[in-house]
Structure 1
Amino acid sequence: MSLDKLRHYTGLESPTGDTRALAALAEVLEADASEAGFATTRELDHLLWTLPARGVTGGELLLLSHYDTVWPVGTLASMPWSVDGDTVRGPGVYDTKSGLVALLAAVTRLRASDQDHPEVRVIVVADEEIGSPTAGDLVRAEAARAAAVLGMEPPHPGGDLKTGRRGSTRARIEVTGIEAHAALDPDAGVNAIDELVDQLVRVRALVADRPVLCNAGTISGGGRTNVVAGRAHADLGLRFVAPGDESAVLGALQRLSPVRERAGLQTTLLAHRPTWRESEPTTALLACIAEVAAGVGQTLDGRPADGAADTNTTGAMGKPTVDGLAPPGGGAHARHEWVSAQGIADRTVLLEALLGGGLSTV
């Protein structure tokens, strides 16, 4: 049954920003969540599900997932759904539609067993793959009332959990120049592309002696070779290990000033997820999860991860947070993306145990 659900969800391709495609999958997910026992609502395009407590006071759990993928509509034609033994392939099966399948299956089993459990809140984000620019306030508000946060992102290879994440920021540097004829009157102009290149050199110098990853992911500007470029911009992807470096670099980006006298310059943060460093609350939560896993015959450990997710936000808030509870597999954002069918079953069992009072000591 879980594979049937996953096949259905995979067939509803849901790239970030495709309103119609996301709405089609959201409607199905909300119906399945309601059937599992959740009360459902939406905030913007984000899905918010609530499972009322049964026999337990306090200790609310917050789970974070998402239903957008990096794959455009039509990807299934060249990257079709397939099952080969334990290996299930298709766009979004690993990141992270199988996590939604396991979660809904776990809650269905939990409700059928009449177990006591705390209140469970789930946010299924619509724009996670571009940094959750519209979900941050919702995540922070829900995390503030939670005793612990479980991230339903994919785990490390092999299935281990994630106990910290690099900070991740998408920033845009925009330059305004002055257009002029490039041959007849070049000095009347200010070349926005030249200014942008100089700013990118500054940024490289800024991160050169820090453990910071900086990727100029897109660059655009100008129009004609005989016109001094009037506009240019670059989008940067930045990853941070330490909050101090994050603060210093982002502050310096905001203070960039034009090299050229008549150029205009603006730096905008398109999306920002703070650095989440492994902490005592997270270590304690991991130990509790590992104990629950051992009780259902599973062995789990955890360590920090390089990638970013919404758990950056909750971990940086100091909330006990562990991520990677979606089923194991591999190939996130790659054409060989796959998930383990047995892993879906195992994670379902683990999630049922965790939600059914297994984290009551947190």
Structure 2
Amino acid sequence: MADPHELLALARTMADPVLERWQTLVALETPSGDAGRAAVFGERLAAGLAATADSVRQPPGPDGAHLVAYWNGREAKDDEGEGPPAGHTLLVAHSDTVFPAGTITRRPFALAEDGDTVTGPGVFDMKGSLVAVELAMDLLSRTGASPRRPVRLVVVNDEEIGSPDGSRLVARHAEGAHAVLGLEPPLPGGALKIGRRGVARVRLSVRGVSAHAGLDAALGVSAIDELVDQLTGLRATATSHPDAALNVGTITGGTRANVVADHAEAEIGLRYTTPETEQALLRALLGPTAVRERAALSAELLSHRPAWAMDPANPLAAELIALAATLGMDLPIGSSGGAGDTNLTGALGIPTVDGLGPAGAGAHGEDEHASLSSLLERAALIAAFLVTH
């Protein structure tokens, strides 16, 4: 079995190849929904993982192939004569970013003068995490070690838009998992995420009746007026729940000022921290009652992630914190206001910790950056956890 300190020391010698790999993955842009770019990136990622994985598969999805890599773990009996423990360790990541194609030309990958800060679109969320997991498995390979349990890595290509297809892949591979390690970026200060608010996106559509707004207004039914009333009611429902947040992201409708609008729709974002609030908000949104007699309403759930309640006594987090301490690393814990694929596994009660990507800041923004030294440390921590747990 590899010694955790040996893994960390080895990781710290690999800054140059890590930077080269990081730059390669960042340069291959992967905006959500771009199947062509997802395919190119997936092939390059699969090739890197194949160096250590027992198998790599690329299951298809509407926006291109996702990726699942498998490591068998130790098959031989341990010193006590026992075989490998039951259950696999699931690593969860994503390949897509929020940046449109061409961003890399304006903001190329770069290493700052401090020799540690890396900038570029997607370096923090979450190309650095993909490099870290590759390095973690490479560290085990170089030291002749194997994970204690079988390991699966799921990389979805639609996380930034709510994993409308990728979530089924995460759910499938979460079955039978002993533990789930989310590779999303950490909270400020490198803190692990042991809880997440739930999030949902709903499209609310209204059909009204068009009419001349000056001559025959009474014959019409304004879809826009109906939508405004619906949104006012939804706002009141959200306000009655202290842990709820509602954001009307887009509104469209109507044709011109002298025509009673016969159509309107809004895309609405919801956030919540408890199942009770989640159910109340979704019930109000997905089962609307029209205010106007001739207005027709329909609601479509575009994406949904359940709330993952924070448990300060999370035993998986405690194991990681203790392991990090032996390596001289401090691992704070916290809860995230954002949602991700670990919402699902955490809500299902599977031991889950997220935020194991390298430290940094500025996700989704112009100032996105991440730490090279943190990436090396996180890779060593992941490798040490896999070999000991």
* Length-normalised TM-score, structure 1: 0.95
> 371, 374, 377: which one pairs with 1:340?
371
| Residue in 1 that maps onto 2:309 | 277
Give a deviation string over 1:202-252, Cα, whole Å, max 9, x none: 101111121211111111111222222121111111110111111111112
| Residue in 1 that maps onto 2:244 | 212
| Residue in 2 that maps onto 1:322 | 353
| Residue in 2 that maps onto 1:19 | 35
| Residue in 1 that maps onto 2:150 | 119
Secondary structure of 1:36's aligned partner: coil
Secondary structure of 2:322's aligned partner: helix
| Residue in 2 that maps onto 1:290 | 321
**1:138 matched to 2:154:** no
Tell me whether 308-317 or 37-46 shows the greater mean CA deviation. Answer: 37-46
| Separation in structure 1 between the aligned mates of residue 28 and residue 212 of structure 2, nearest angstrom | 50
**1:74 matched to 2:102:** yes
Deviation (angstroms), 1:122: 0.9
**Conservation of the 8 A alpha-carbon contact between 1:296 and 1:349:** no
| Separation in structure 2 between the aligned mates of residue 341 and residue 113 of structure 1, nearest angstrom | 22
Tell me whether 342-351 or 308-317 shows the greater mean CA deviation. Answer: 342-351
Deviation (angstroms), 1:188: 2.4
| Separation in structure 1 between the aligned mates of residue 53 and residue 156 of structure 2, nearest angstrom | 20
| Residue in 2 that maps onto 1:243 | 275
Q: 1:92-103 maps to which residues of 2 (within 5 A)? A: 92-103=122-133
| Separation in structure 1 between the aligned mates of residue 25 and residue 203 of structure 2, nearest angstrom | 33
Deviation (angstroms), 1:38: 4.3
Secondary structure of 2:203's aligned partner: strand
Tell me whether 198-207 or 243-252 shows the greater mean CA deviation. Answer: 243-252
| Separation in structure 2 between the aligned mates of residue 228 and residue 30 of structure 1, nearest angstrom | 54
Q: 1:1-362 maps to which residues of 2 (within 5 A)? A: 1-43=17-59, 44=61, 45-55=65-75, 56-84=84-112, 85=114, 86-117=116-147, 118-210=149-241, 211-279=243-311, 283-357=314-388, 359=389
| Separation in structure 1 between the aligned mates of residue 201 and residue 54 of structure 2, nearest angstrom | 34
**Conservation of the 8 A alpha-carbon contact between 2:250 and 2:266:** yes
**Conservation of the 8 A alpha-carbon contact between 1:286 and 1:301:** no
| Residue in 1 that maps onto 2:9 | none
The one-letter code sitting in structure 1 at the alignment partner of 2:173 is: E
**Conservation of the 8 A alpha-carbon contact between 1:33 and 1:49:** yes
| Separation in structure 2 between the aligned mates of residue 196 and residue 202 of structure 1, nearest angstrom | 10
**Conservation of the 8 A alpha-carbon contact between 2:92 and 2:155:** yes
Identity %: 44
The one-letter code sitting in structure 2 at the alignment partner of 1:5 is: R
The one-letter code sitting in structure 2 at the alignment partner of 1:103 is: V
| Separation in structure 2 between the aligned mates of residue 319 and residue 190 of structure 1, nearest angstrom | 49
| Separation in structure 2 between the aligned mates of residue 221 and residue 194 of structure 1, nearest angstrom | 10
Deviation (angstroms), 1:186: 2.1
| Separation in structure 2 between the aligned mates of residue 6 and residue 231 of structure 1, nearest angstrom | 47
Secondary structure of 1:50's aligned partner: strand
The one-letter code sitting in structure 2 at the alignment partner of 1:124 is: V
| Residue in 1 that maps onto 2:10 | none
**Conservation of the 8 A alpha-carbon contact between 1:167 and 1:274:** yes
Deviation (angstroms), 1:133: 0.8
| Separation in structure 1 between the aligned mates of residue 145 and residue 49 of structure 2, nearest angstrom | 18
Secondary structure of 1:109's aligned partner: helix
Deviation (angstroms), 1:62: 0.3
**Conservation of the 8 A alpha-carbon contact between 1:190 and 1:228:** yes
**Conservation of the 8 A alpha-carbon contact between 1:37 and 1:111:** no
The one-letter code sitting in structure 1 at the alignment partner of 2:193 is: K
| Separation in structure 2 between the aligned mates of residue 16 and residue 29 of structure 1, nearest angstrom | 16
Give a deviation string over 1:268-316, Cα, whole Å, max 9, x none: 1111000001248x71001111111122221212121111100000000
The one-letter code sitting in structure 1 at the alignment partner of 2:161 is: I
Deviation (angstroms), 1:52: 1.2
